[in-house]
Copies of this chain bind each other. A is one copy, B any other.
Amino acid sequence: MRTSIATVSLSGSLTEKLTAAARAGFDGVELFENDLLASPLTPEEIRARTADLGLSIDLYQPMRDIEAVAEEEFARGLRRARHKFELMRRLGADTVLVCSSVSPLAVDDDALAAEQLRRLAVLAEDFGVRVAYEALAWGRHVSTYDHAWSIVEAAGHPALGTCLDSFHILARGSDPKRIEDIPGEKIFFLQLADAPLMAMDVLQWSRHYRCFPGQGGFDLSGLLAHVLRAGYRGPLSLEVFNDVFRQAEAGPTAVDARRSLLVLQEATRPLLRQAAGLAAPPAPVVPTGVAFAELVTPDVVPVATVLGALGFTRTARHRGKPVDLWQQGEARVLVNTGPAARRDGTALAAIGLESPDPAAAARRAEALLAPVLPRRRALGDAPLDAVAAPDGTELFFCASLGPSGPSERGGFSGRPELPHWTGDFERVERAPQVEHVEHVEHVEHVEHVEHVEHVEHVEDVERVELVGHVERIGPVGKVPGVGAVTRIDHLALTQPWHQFDEAALFHRTVLGLSGQESVDVADPYGLHRSRAVTNADGSVRIALGVGPAPSDDGARAQHIALATDDVTEAARRFRAAGGRLLAIPANYYDDLAARYGLGDEELATYRELGILYDRDQNGEFRHCYTQTVGRVFFELVQRDGGYRGYGARNAPVRLAAQRAAGRPGR
C-alpha cells in the first residue's frame, strides 16, 4: 500500500520535511496548513517540489468548524472553503480533511450537519476535491467515528466520505470492529498514530504524546485489519503530533516513521493476504547470543587493565587490523585501537550478534531501513554483514555459534559453511613467563606481553610500534588468570534523548527482540528512563537508557554487564587483581538491612565490595560496577531464580556514586 506522512509529524521547514519524507521512501504527504503558511514557496512551487521528489499531496488539512451552524455562519465557512479549494487546485491536492466542529456556535443537529456537509461537497466537486470528514475525539457534538460516518452516510454525496484516525478512535475506547460496516470506497483516508496509554485529557494527549505505530500502547494492526476488511485501499498515513519529534531532525524521524509502517504492514499481512500490495519485509532472524562486544579506544592500557583484572585473557589478535580478542568463558570483548578509536575516546562501538542466518538478518535490517555498513572486508577478512543502530552502534551478524575457543588453525568451531569473524584472528602464543624482574632500564622493543604478575615501578614507558599494530606497554597492573565471568549478560546503551522510542522500535523490529517494560527512575539530577529488549532465552539482552539532561548527549555512557554465578567471588578477584570497584554509600546498606532479611555477614560483604541488591517476584539480582574508562564501564551481575530486571531501583544510587567519583556516569 502507499505510505504517507503528515508534514506536521516532522521538524523543520516545509522543504526539509518534504525532502526527509521522500528520502525515507514515503509515497506522499498530508500537507498541514501551518506548514504551507510558513513556507516561502508558492503553491505551484510546492506542487513542483513534491512532484520532483516523487511525492503526491494525498491530503490537505485541516479545515475546521464548518458544519452544524446557522446559515450565515455556514456561508462564511463556505467562503473560506472556496479559498482553500482554489488553493488545493494550485497544489494539485484532491482530498481535504474536515474535522468535526469544536466551535461553541455548532449545534447538536445531525441533519443540519449532514445537509451542510453535502453543500460543502457540492462546492468541492466543482474543484475536483473530495471532502473527508473526521470525528475529533474532543469534537463538540461529533466525537466518534461511527457518528461521523452516520452523518456522511446521511449526506449521501459522492464527494463526501469519512477519514479515520486511529488515535481518535482508540483514545475514545471505540470498538474498531464496526469500521467493517463502512463501505471501503467511503473511507477516503486513514490516519495512523499510536500513543502511550495514559489517563489524561485527550486533547493534550493527542497534541503532545502521539507516536509512531508500535511505539505506544494501541492495537494498530488490529485496527488496520478492520479498515482493510472494510475495503479501504488508500494510503496508510502517519499523523503524529509529538513534542520530541518537533525538535528532532526530520531525516531520522522520517526513517523511524516509515519503519513503523513497514512493521505495521508486516503485522497485518497474515490477517489479510488478499489485500493487494501489502508489502512485508523478510521475516526477522532473532539473534541467539552475543558473539562479542567491541570497544574502540585510543589508549589500550586502561582497557587492558580492567579486562585483565576482570579475568579476561587476550587470546587472539586480528591478522591485519589493530584488534585484540579478549575472552573469558563465553564472554568475548574485542579491543580496537584502529583509526575509528581516535574520535571520542574509549567507547562501545559494536556488538556482534550470533545469528542463525546472518545474510537474512541483514536483509531484514535493510528492508527496515537500517543503514547497511560496508563489510570492512580486508585481505582475507570474513565478510560480515553489519548495520548501524539509531545511536550509531554497529551491529554485526555473526555465525560463530558456541562457546568454543580458538581452534588449532586459529579459527573457531561453528558452522563451516558460513564465513567466521574469528577466522581473521590468530591465536596469541603464550610468551615465556618471567617470574620476577628487578629493574628494567629501558625497553627498546616488545613483541608481545602475555601476563604480568606485578609491576613495582615504571619510570618512563615508551610506545612500541608493532607491524600494522599500535601496542602500548604501560603500567598494566596485576593481570591474574581466569576470573568468574561466564558470559555477557547485557549491553547497556544510553540513547540520545530524542531517539529513545526510535531505538526501542528498531531493536524490537529489526532484530526481532522483545521489549520489556519501560522504567522511569528519578536520579538526583533528573529522570532516568530505560527499557530493555531481549530474545526468548535471555541470551541477548540490550538495555536502552536515556539520560535526563538533553544537553548531556555528548557524554553518553555505555556499559558491558558480565554474568557471573558468584558476584562476590568475581568482585573479590577483580579487586585482588588491582581493579577498582565503584564505592556505594554505607547508607544504602543500612536501608537494605531494613528492607530485606539479609544476613549480617552477607550485608557486610556487599558493603565491603559495593555490591547492590534487588529482588523481584522471580528471584534476586546482585551487581557491582567497575570504574569508568572513557565512556565505558563494566558491571558484574549475578541473576538467581529467574530475576528479569536490571536493578533499575539501584540506578539512582549508582549514578550518584559515579558522579561522586567524577566520572561521566551516564
Interface string of A512-541 (1 = CB under 8 A from B): 000000000010111100000000000000
Query: Could you list 23 A-B pairs, sorted by A, with CB under 8 Å?
Result: A8-B522, A11-B525, A11-B526, A12-B524, A13-B524, A34-B653, A37-B585, A38-B587, A38-B657, A40-B585, A41-B585, A42-B586, A83-B590, A198-B201, A199-B201, A200-B201, A243-B526, A246-B525, A246-B526, A246-B527, A247-B525, A247-B548, A550-B551
CB distance from A39 to the nearest CB of B (A): 6
A41: chain B residues at CB < 8 Å are: 585, 587
A526: chain B residues at CB < 8 Å are: 11, 243, 246-247
Is B40 a contact partner of A653 (Cβ separation < 8 A)?
no
CB distance from A10 to the nearest CB of B (A): 9
- For A80, the closest partner residue in chain B by CB is B594
- A583 contact from B8, B13, B35, B40, Cβ within 8 A: B40
4 closest A-B pairs (Cβ-Cβ)? Answer: A200-B200, A83-B594, A38-B656, A199-B201
Q: Which of A582-603 contact B (CB under 8 A)?
A: 583, 585-588, 590-591, 593-595
- For A548, the closest partner residue in chain B by CB is B247
Is B43 a contact partner of A587 (Cβ separation < 8 A)?
yes
Complex CA–CA separation, A83 to B83 (angstroms): 74
Complex CA–CA separation, A26 to B527 (angstroms): 25
Complex CA–CA separation, A595 to B551 (angstroms): 41
Interface string of A65-91 (1 = CB under 8 A from B): 000000000000001100110010000
Q: Is the C-beta of A204 less than 8 angstroms from some C-beta in chain B?
A: yes
- A246 contact from B198, B522, B585, Cβ within 8 A: B522
Is B247 a contact partner of A11 (Cβ separation < 8 A)?
no
Known A246-B525, A653-B37; contact A79-B548, beta-carbon cutoff 8 A: no
Q: Is the C-beta of A1 less than 8 angstroms from some C-beta in chain B?
A: no
A588: chain B residues at CB < 8 Å are: 37-38
Q: Which of A530-563 contact B (CB under 8 A)?
A: 548-551
A40: chain B residues at CB < 8 Å are: 583, 585-586, 657, 660
Complex CA–CA separation, A243 to B529 (angstroms): 12
Q: Is the C-beta of A366 less than 8 angstroms from some C-beta in chain B?
A: no
Interface string of A10-30 (1 = CB under 8 A from B): 011100000000000000000
CB distance from A612 to the nearest CB of B (A): 11
Q: Which of A303-324 contact B (CB under 8 A)?
A: none
Complex CA–CA separation, A541 to B353 (angstroms): 61
Complex CA–CA separation, A87 to B592 (angstroms): 13
Q: Is the C-beta of A659 less than 8 angstroms from some C-beta in chain B?
A: yes
Is B84 a contact partner of A659 (Cβ separation < 8 A)?
no
Is A247 a contact partner of B549 (Cβ separation < 8 A)?
yes
A549: chain B residues at CB < 8 Å are: 247
Known A11-B526, A551-B551; contact A39-B585, beta-carbon cutoff 8 A: yes
A38: chain B residues at CB < 8 Å are: 524, 585, 587-588, 652-653, 656-657
Is B13 a contact partner of A659 (Cβ separation < 8 A)?
yes
Supplied contacts A35-B524, A38-B652, A200-B201, 18 more A-B pairs, CB within 8 Å: A12-B524, A33-B591, A34-B522, A38-B656, A39-B656, A40-B583, A40-B585, A40-B657, A41-B585, A83-B591, A83-B594, A87-B590, A200-B204, A243-B527, A246-B527, A247-B549, A550-B551, A551-B551
Most buried by B among A35, A204, A246, A657: A246
Q: Is the C-beta of A36 less than 8 angstroms from some C-beta in chain B?
A: yes
A36: chain B residues at CB < 8 Å are: 587, 591
- For A649, the closest partner residue in chain B by CB is B34
- For A660, the closest partner residue in chain B by CB is B40
Complex CA–CA separation, A38 to B583 (angstroms): 11
A8: chain B residues at CB < 8 Å are: 522
Complex CA–CA separation, A241 to B520 (angstroms): 14
CB distance from A554 to the nearest CB of B (A): 11
CB distance from A12 to the nearest CB of B (A): 6
Interface string of A177-206 (1 = CB under 8 A from B): 000000000000000000000111100100
A241: chain B residues at CB < 8 Å are: 522
Complex CA–CA separation, A229 to B105 (angstroms): 46
Complex CA–CA separation, A583 to B79 (angstroms): 27
Known A37-B585, A200-B201; contact A11-B591, beta-carbon cutoff 8 A: no
